[in-house]
Amino acid sequence: MDSNPLLKLKALGQSIWLDYIERGMFDSGELAHLIKRDGLAGITSNPAIFEKAITGHEDYDAEIARLARSARDATEMYETIVLEDIGHAADLFLPVYERTKTRDGYVSIEVSPHLAHDADKTVKQAIRLWERLHRPNIMIKVPGTHEGLPAVRDLIAKGINVNVTLLFGLARYRAVLEAWLSGLEDRAKAGNPLSSVASVASFFLSRIDVLVDKHLDAIVSKDPSAAAWRGTAAISYARRAYQIWKEMEKSERWRRLAVQGAQPQRLLWASTGTKDPAYSDVKYVEALIGPDTVNTLPPETLNAYRKHGDPAARLEQDLKQSDVTIAGLAKHGIDLETVAQQLEEEGVKKFIEPFDKLQAALEQRRRKHATASA
Protein backbone atom coordinates (compact mmCIF):
# COMPACT_ATOMS: atom_id res chain seq x y z
CA MET A 1 0.00 0.00 0.00
CA ASP A 2 1.26 3.49 -0.82
CA SER A 3 2.68 5.19 2.28
CA ASN A 4 1.86 8.73 1.10
CA PRO A 5 -0.53 10.16 3.75
CA LEU A 6 -2.13 12.43 1.15
CA LEU A 7 -3.30 9.42 -0.84
CA LYS A 8 -4.73 7.89 2.32
CA LEU A 9 -6.88 10.99 2.77
CA LYS A 10 -8.40 10.26 -0.62
CA ALA A 11 -9.26 6.74 0.58
CA LEU A 12 -11.05 8.30 3.58
CA GLY A 13 -13.29 10.32 1.27
CA GLN A 14 -11.52 13.67 1.44
CA SER A 15 -10.21 15.43 -1.65
CA ILE A 16 -7.01 17.45 -1.42
CA TRP A 17 -6.75 20.64 -3.46
CA LEU A 18 -3.89 23.12 -3.62
CA ASP A 19 -4.38 26.66 -2.38
CA TYR A 20 -1.82 28.18 -4.69
CA ILE A 21 -1.04 28.73 -8.36
CA GLU A 22 1.79 30.27 -10.33
CA ARG A 23 3.03 29.82 -13.86
CA GLY A 24 6.32 28.14 -13.05
CA MET A 25 4.39 25.12 -11.78
CA PHE A 26 3.25 24.37 -15.32
CA ASP A 27 6.56 24.88 -17.07
CA SER A 28 8.54 22.82 -14.55
CA GLY A 29 6.04 19.98 -14.51
CA GLU A 30 5.57 20.43 -10.76
CA LEU A 31 1.78 20.60 -10.91
CA ALA A 32 1.52 17.47 -13.06
CA HIS A 33 3.82 15.74 -10.58
CA LEU A 34 1.63 16.73 -7.62
CA ILE A 35 -1.43 15.35 -9.38
CA LYS A 36 0.32 12.05 -10.02
CA ARG A 37 2.22 11.63 -6.75
CA ASP A 38 -0.18 13.12 -4.21
CA GLY A 39 -3.53 12.62 -5.87
CA LEU A 40 -3.98 16.39 -5.97
CA ALA A 41 -7.54 16.93 -7.16
CA GLY A 42 -7.99 20.67 -7.69
CA ILE A 43 -6.74 24.22 -7.18
CA THR A 44 -8.08 27.28 -5.40
CA SER A 45 -6.83 30.79 -6.10
CA ASN A 46 -7.58 34.28 -4.86
CA PRO A 47 -6.33 37.83 -5.48
CA ALA A 48 -3.66 37.53 -2.76
CA ILE A 49 -2.26 34.38 -4.36
CA PHE A 50 -2.05 36.00 -7.78
CA GLU A 51 -0.48 39.16 -6.40
CA LYS A 52 2.23 37.05 -4.77
CA ALA A 53 2.76 34.96 -7.90
CA ILE A 54 2.81 37.74 -10.49
CA THR A 55 4.93 40.24 -8.55
CA GLY A 56 7.22 37.61 -7.07
CA HIS A 57 8.25 35.59 -10.13
CA GLU A 58 10.04 36.49 -13.34
CA ASP A 59 7.91 33.99 -15.27
CA TYR A 60 5.41 36.75 -16.00
CA ASP A 61 7.79 39.50 -17.09
CA ALA A 62 7.74 38.80 -20.82
CA GLU A 63 3.95 38.63 -20.96
CA ILE A 64 3.59 41.75 -18.83
CA ALA A 65 5.89 43.62 -21.21
CA ARG A 66 3.88 42.41 -24.21
CA LEU A 67 0.54 43.26 -22.63
CA ALA A 68 1.81 46.64 -21.49
CA ARG A 69 2.16 47.62 -25.15
CA SER A 70 -1.25 46.35 -26.22
CA ALA A 71 -3.67 46.27 -23.29
CA ARG A 72 -6.05 49.14 -22.68
CA ASP A 73 -5.58 49.13 -18.92
CA ALA A 74 -4.29 47.16 -15.93
CA THR A 75 -7.59 45.28 -15.57
CA GLU A 76 -7.22 43.83 -19.05
CA MET A 77 -3.62 42.88 -18.30
CA TYR A 78 -4.63 41.22 -15.04
CA GLU A 79 -7.46 39.20 -16.56
CA THR A 80 -5.35 38.06 -19.51
CA ILE A 81 -2.60 36.76 -17.24
CA VAL A 82 -4.90 35.17 -14.68
CA LEU A 83 -7.18 33.51 -17.21
CA GLU A 84 -4.19 31.98 -18.97
CA ASP A 85 -2.98 30.40 -15.72
CA ILE A 86 -6.43 29.25 -14.66
CA GLY A 87 -7.15 27.80 -18.09
CA HIS A 88 -3.81 25.97 -18.19
CA ALA A 89 -4.44 24.49 -14.75
CA ALA A 90 -7.98 23.46 -15.69
CA ASP A 91 -6.64 21.61 -18.73
CA LEU A 92 -4.19 19.71 -16.51
CA PHE A 93 -6.99 18.74 -14.14
CA LEU A 94 -9.48 17.78 -16.85
CA PRO A 95 -8.50 14.08 -16.71
CA VAL A 96 -9.16 14.17 -12.95
CA TYR A 97 -12.54 15.77 -13.59
CA GLU A 98 -13.42 13.06 -16.08
CA ARG A 99 -12.00 10.18 -14.02
CA THR A 100 -13.92 11.24 -10.90
CA LYS A 101 -17.10 11.80 -12.92
CA THR A 102 -17.14 15.56 -12.22
CA ARG A 103 -16.59 15.20 -8.46
CA ASP A 104 -13.08 16.73 -8.55
CA GLY A 105 -10.61 18.33 -10.94
CA TYR A 106 -11.83 21.91 -10.41
CA VAL A 107 -9.83 25.13 -10.62
CA SER A 108 -11.30 28.15 -8.84
CA ILE A 109 -11.06 31.77 -9.94
CA GLU A 110 -12.49 34.62 -7.85
CA VAL A 111 -14.56 37.54 -9.01
CA SER A 112 -13.19 40.98 -8.15
CA PRO A 113 -13.25 41.45 -4.36
CA HIS A 114 -14.68 44.92 -4.97
CA LEU A 115 -17.93 43.20 -5.95
CA ALA A 116 -18.39 41.35 -2.63
CA HIS A 117 -21.45 43.46 -1.80
CA ASP A 118 -22.95 43.74 -5.28
CA ALA A 119 -24.88 40.68 -6.44
CA ASP A 120 -25.76 41.95 -9.92
CA LYS A 121 -22.19 42.88 -10.86
CA THR A 122 -20.91 39.64 -9.32
CA VAL A 123 -23.22 37.62 -11.55
CA LYS A 124 -22.25 39.59 -14.65
CA GLN A 125 -18.52 39.18 -14.04
CA ALA A 126 -18.91 35.51 -13.12
CA ILE A 127 -20.74 34.81 -16.38
CA ARG A 128 -18.08 36.65 -18.35
CA LEU A 129 -15.23 34.70 -16.69
CA TRP A 130 -17.10 31.43 -17.14
CA GLU A 131 -17.68 32.09 -20.82
CA ARG A 132 -14.12 33.26 -21.47
CA LEU A 133 -12.59 30.20 -19.82
CA HIS A 134 -15.15 27.88 -21.47
CA ARG A 135 -14.18 24.77 -19.51
CA PRO A 136 -16.49 22.48 -17.50
CA ASN A 137 -14.08 22.18 -14.55
CA ILE A 138 -13.89 25.87 -13.64
CA MET A 139 -15.38 27.12 -10.37
CA ILE A 140 -16.20 30.78 -9.89
CA LYS A 141 -15.45 31.96 -6.36
CA VAL A 142 -18.14 34.19 -4.90
CA PRO A 143 -17.76 35.68 -1.41
CA GLY A 144 -20.43 34.34 0.92
CA THR A 145 -21.50 37.79 2.06
CA HIS A 146 -25.17 38.58 2.63
CA GLU A 147 -25.21 40.32 -0.76
CA GLY A 148 -23.36 37.42 -2.37
CA LEU A 149 -26.08 34.87 -1.58
CA PRO A 150 -28.46 35.93 -4.40
CA ALA A 151 -25.52 35.70 -6.80
CA VAL A 152 -24.82 32.14 -5.65
CA ARG A 153 -28.43 31.15 -6.27
CA ASP A 154 -28.52 32.83 -9.68
CA LEU A 155 -25.23 31.30 -10.86
CA ILE A 156 -26.17 27.79 -9.76
CA ALA A 157 -29.50 28.17 -11.57
CA LYS A 158 -27.56 29.16 -14.69
CA GLY A 159 -25.43 26.02 -14.48
CA ILE A 160 -22.21 27.73 -13.38
CA ASN A 161 -20.02 25.96 -10.82
CA VAL A 162 -19.59 28.04 -7.66
CA ASN A 163 -17.06 28.06 -4.85
CA VAL A 164 -18.69 30.07 -2.05
CA THR A 165 -15.77 31.60 -0.19
CA LEU A 166 -15.02 33.56 3.00
CA LEU A 167 -17.31 31.56 5.29
CA PHE A 168 -16.60 31.81 9.00
CA GLY A 169 -19.92 31.24 10.77
CA LEU A 170 -22.69 28.66 11.06
CA ALA A 171 -25.59 31.04 10.42
CA ARG A 172 -24.06 32.19 7.15
CA TYR A 173 -23.22 28.61 6.20
CA ARG A 174 -26.89 27.66 6.59
CA ALA A 175 -27.81 30.60 4.37
CA VAL A 176 -25.30 29.41 1.76
CA LEU A 177 -26.87 25.95 1.73
CA GLU A 178 -30.27 27.60 1.25
CA ALA A 179 -29.03 29.70 -1.68
CA TRP A 180 -27.41 26.66 -3.32
CA LEU A 181 -30.46 24.44 -2.89
CA SER A 182 -32.74 27.20 -4.20
CA GLY A 183 -30.50 27.61 -7.23
CA LEU A 184 -30.75 23.92 -8.00
CA GLU A 185 -34.53 24.04 -7.57
CA ASP A 186 -34.74 27.03 -9.92
CA ARG A 187 -32.68 25.11 -12.45
CA ALA A 188 -34.84 22.02 -12.14
CA LYS A 189 -38.05 24.05 -12.59
CA ALA A 190 -36.61 25.46 -15.81
CA GLY A 191 -36.11 21.91 -17.06
CA ASN A 192 -32.31 22.07 -17.06
CA PRO A 193 -30.04 19.18 -15.98
CA LEU A 194 -28.54 19.25 -12.49
CA SER A 195 -25.76 16.70 -12.75
CA SER A 196 -23.16 19.01 -14.30
CA VAL A 197 -23.39 21.76 -11.65
CA ALA A 198 -20.81 21.54 -8.87
CA SER A 199 -20.29 23.66 -5.78
CA VAL A 200 -18.21 23.83 -2.62
CA ALA A 201 -18.61 25.98 0.49
CA SER A 202 -15.23 27.24 1.70
CA PHE A 203 -15.14 27.40 5.50
CA PHE A 204 -12.08 29.32 6.73
CA LEU A 205 -10.23 27.97 9.77
CA SER A 206 -6.95 29.44 11.00
CA ARG A 207 -8.22 33.00 10.84
CA ILE A 208 -10.89 32.08 13.40
CA ASP A 209 -8.29 30.86 15.88
CA VAL A 210 -6.03 33.85 15.30
CA LEU A 211 -8.80 36.30 16.25
CA VAL A 212 -10.26 34.23 19.10
CA ASP A 213 -6.81 33.59 20.57
CA LYS A 214 -6.16 37.32 20.49
CA HIS A 215 -9.29 37.90 22.57
CA LEU A 216 -8.33 35.12 24.98
CA ASP A 217 -4.81 36.45 25.41
CA ALA A 218 -6.25 39.85 26.30
CA ILE A 219 -8.17 38.44 29.28
CA VAL A 220 -5.86 35.67 30.47
CA SER A 221 -4.12 37.91 33.01
CA LYS A 222 -7.45 38.44 34.77
CA ASP A 223 -8.77 34.94 34.09
CA PRO A 224 -6.02 32.30 33.64
CA SER A 225 -8.63 29.68 32.70
CA ALA A 226 -9.10 31.46 29.37
CA ALA A 227 -5.79 30.04 28.13
CA ALA A 228 -7.28 26.54 28.00
CA TRP A 229 -9.52 27.56 25.10
CA ARG A 230 -6.72 28.75 22.81
CA GLY A 231 -6.72 27.02 19.41
CA THR A 232 -10.06 25.28 19.96
CA ALA A 233 -12.56 27.54 18.19
CA ALA A 234 -12.00 26.83 14.50
CA ILE A 235 -12.08 23.04 14.63
CA SER A 236 -15.10 23.04 16.93
CA TYR A 237 -17.01 25.35 14.61
CA ALA A 238 -16.00 23.38 11.52
CA ARG A 239 -17.21 20.15 13.07
CA ARG A 240 -20.58 21.75 13.81
CA ALA A 241 -20.74 22.98 10.20
CA TYR A 242 -20.28 19.40 9.02
CA GLN A 243 -23.24 18.33 11.17
CA ILE A 244 -25.33 21.01 9.47
CA TRP A 245 -24.23 19.54 6.12
CA LYS A 246 -25.31 16.07 7.27
CA GLU A 247 -28.72 17.42 8.28
CA MET A 248 -29.10 18.83 4.78
CA GLU A 249 -28.03 15.53 3.23
CA LYS A 250 -30.82 13.70 5.08
CA SER A 251 -33.51 16.22 4.13
CA GLU A 252 -36.34 15.41 1.77
CA ARG A 253 -35.58 18.62 -0.08
CA TRP A 254 -32.11 17.37 -0.96
CA ARG A 255 -33.31 13.87 -1.83
CA ARG A 256 -35.67 15.28 -4.43
CA LEU A 257 -32.75 17.07 -6.08
CA ALA A 258 -30.36 14.12 -5.74
CA VAL A 259 -32.82 11.88 -7.56
CA GLN A 260 -32.56 14.34 -10.46
CA GLY A 261 -28.78 13.94 -10.50
CA ALA A 262 -27.70 16.88 -8.35
CA GLN A 263 -24.23 16.81 -6.80
CA PRO A 264 -23.87 17.64 -3.10
CA GLN A 265 -22.22 20.94 -2.19
CA ARG A 266 -19.17 19.76 -0.24
CA LEU A 267 -17.62 21.65 2.62
CA LEU A 268 -14.12 22.83 1.75
CA TRP A 269 -11.71 23.58 4.59
CA ALA A 270 -9.79 26.74 3.70
CA SER A 271 -7.21 28.91 5.47
CA THR A 272 -5.57 25.67 6.59
CA GLY A 273 -2.01 26.92 6.93
CA THR A 274 -1.12 27.11 10.62
CA LYS A 275 -0.38 30.69 11.61
CA ASP A 276 0.62 30.15 15.25
CA PRO A 277 3.96 28.28 15.56
CA ALA A 278 2.76 26.87 18.89
CA TYR A 279 0.34 24.64 16.95
CA SER A 280 1.03 21.65 14.72
CA ASP A 281 1.74 22.53 11.10
CA VAL A 282 -0.99 20.05 10.10
CA LYS A 283 -3.50 21.08 12.79
CA TYR A 284 -6.22 22.01 10.30
CA VAL A 285 -5.85 18.79 8.34
CA GLU A 286 -5.70 16.06 10.97
CA ALA A 287 -8.80 17.07 12.93
CA LEU A 288 -11.11 17.53 9.94
CA ILE A 289 -10.71 14.37 7.89
CA GLY A 290 -14.05 12.99 6.79
CA PRO A 291 -16.06 11.83 3.78
CA ASP A 292 -17.47 14.22 1.21
CA THR A 293 -15.16 17.07 2.19
CA VAL A 294 -12.33 18.97 0.51
CA ASN A 295 -9.23 20.44 2.14
CA THR A 296 -7.32 23.04 0.16
CA LEU A 297 -3.73 23.29 1.37
CA PRO A 298 -1.02 25.89 0.80
CA PRO A 299 2.22 24.31 -0.50
CA GLU A 300 3.89 24.36 2.94
CA THR A 301 1.02 22.45 4.55
CA LEU A 302 0.82 20.01 1.65
CA ASN A 303 4.52 19.22 2.01
CA ALA A 304 4.23 18.92 5.79
CA TYR A 305 1.35 16.48 5.57
CA ARG A 306 3.15 14.35 3.04
CA LYS A 307 6.07 14.08 5.46
CA HIS A 308 4.32 13.34 8.72
CA GLY A 309 0.55 13.23 8.32
CA ASP A 310 -1.42 10.65 10.28
CA PRO A 311 -4.65 10.06 8.34
CA ALA A 312 -7.74 8.91 10.23
CA ALA A 313 -11.41 9.86 10.13
CA ARG A 314 -11.64 12.44 12.92
CA LEU A 315 -14.18 14.95 11.66
CA GLU A 316 -16.98 13.62 13.84
CA GLN A 317 -14.91 13.01 16.95
CA ASP A 318 -15.57 14.96 20.15
CA LEU A 319 -18.78 16.57 18.90
CA LYS A 320 -19.96 17.11 22.46
CA GLN A 321 -16.65 18.81 23.19
CA SER A 322 -17.28 21.13 20.26
CA ASP A 323 -20.47 22.31 21.95
CA VAL A 324 -18.65 22.64 25.26
CA THR A 325 -15.97 24.74 23.53
CA ILE A 326 -18.49 27.08 21.91
CA ALA A 327 -20.27 27.53 25.24
CA GLY A 328 -16.99 27.98 27.09
CA LEU A 329 -15.88 30.72 24.73
CA ALA A 330 -19.24 32.43 25.15
CA LYS A 331 -18.72 32.48 28.92
CA HIS A 332 -15.52 34.41 28.26
CA GLY A 333 -17.45 36.94 26.21
CA ILE A 334 -16.51 35.50 22.80
CA ASP A 335 -19.47 34.94 20.48
CA LEU A 336 -18.29 33.04 17.42
CA GLU A 337 -20.99 34.49 15.16
CA THR A 338 -19.76 37.98 16.03
CA VAL A 339 -16.24 36.79 15.32
CA ALA A 340 -17.44 35.42 11.98
CA GLN A 341 -18.93 38.75 10.94
CA GLN A 342 -15.72 40.59 11.79
CA LEU A 343 -13.63 38.06 9.89
CA GLU A 344 -15.89 38.30 6.83
CA GLU A 345 -15.45 42.07 6.72
CA GLU A 346 -11.69 41.77 7.23
CA GLY A 347 -11.51 38.96 4.67
CA VAL A 348 -12.98 41.12 1.92
CA LYS A 349 -10.46 43.85 2.73
CA LYS A 350 -7.59 41.34 2.76
CA PHE A 351 -8.43 40.44 -0.84
CA ILE A 352 -9.07 44.00 -1.99
CA GLU A 353 -5.64 45.21 -0.82
CA PRO A 354 -3.48 42.76 -2.85
CA PHE A 355 -5.89 43.05 -5.79
CA ASP A 356 -5.44 46.82 -5.86
CA LYS A 357 -1.71 46.53 -5.24
CA LEU A 358 -1.29 44.23 -8.23
CA GLN A 359 -3.48 46.44 -10.43
CA ALA A 360 -1.32 49.45 -9.51
CA ALA A 361 1.87 47.56 -10.29
CA LEU A 362 0.53 46.44 -13.67
CA GLU A 363 -0.66 49.95 -14.50
CA GLN A 364 2.78 51.32 -13.68
CA ARG A 365 4.37 48.79 -16.03
CA ARG A 366 1.83 49.61 -18.73
CA ARG A 367 2.52 53.33 -18.56
CA LYS A 368 6.27 52.76 -18.49
CA HIS A 369 6.17 50.74 -21.69
CA ALA A 370 3.72 53.16 -23.30
CA THR A 371 6.06 56.04 -22.58
CA ALA A 372 9.09 54.12 -23.86
CA SER A 373 7.38 53.31 -27.15
CA ALA A 374 5.98 56.81 -27.67
3-state secondary structure of 160: coil
Q: Among 45, 41, 43, 44, which Cα is nearest to 16's?
A: 41
Q: Among 26, 43, 41, which Cα is nearest to 88's?
A: 26
Please answer whether residues 263 and 197 qualify as being in contact, where contact means their C-beta atoms are separated by less than 8 angstroms: yes
Give the end-to-end CA distance of the chain in Å, rounded to a whole number.
63
3-state secondary structure of 210: helix
CB atoms within 10 A of CB 80: 16
Q: Among 231, 345, 351, 219, which Cα is nearest to 279's?
A: 231
Q: Which helix (H) or strand (E) holds 185?
A: helix 170-189
Q: Which helix (H) or strand (E) holds 155?
A: helix 148-157
- Burial letters 23-48, b for 16+ CB under 10 A, else e: bebbeeeebeebbeebbbbbbbbbbb
Out of 36, 101, 124, 141, the active site residue is 141
Give catalytic status of residue 141 as yes or no: yes
Beta strands in the chain (DSSP E): 14-18, 42-43, 106-110, 138-143, 162-167, 199-204, 266-270, 293-297
3-state secondary structure of 272: coil
Distance CA 148, CA 112 (A): 12
The alpha-helical segments, DSSP class H, found in 71-114 are 74-99
Q: Is 114 exposed, middle or buried (0-12, 13-18, 19+ CB in 10 A)?
A: middle
Q: Which residues are catalytic?
A: 141
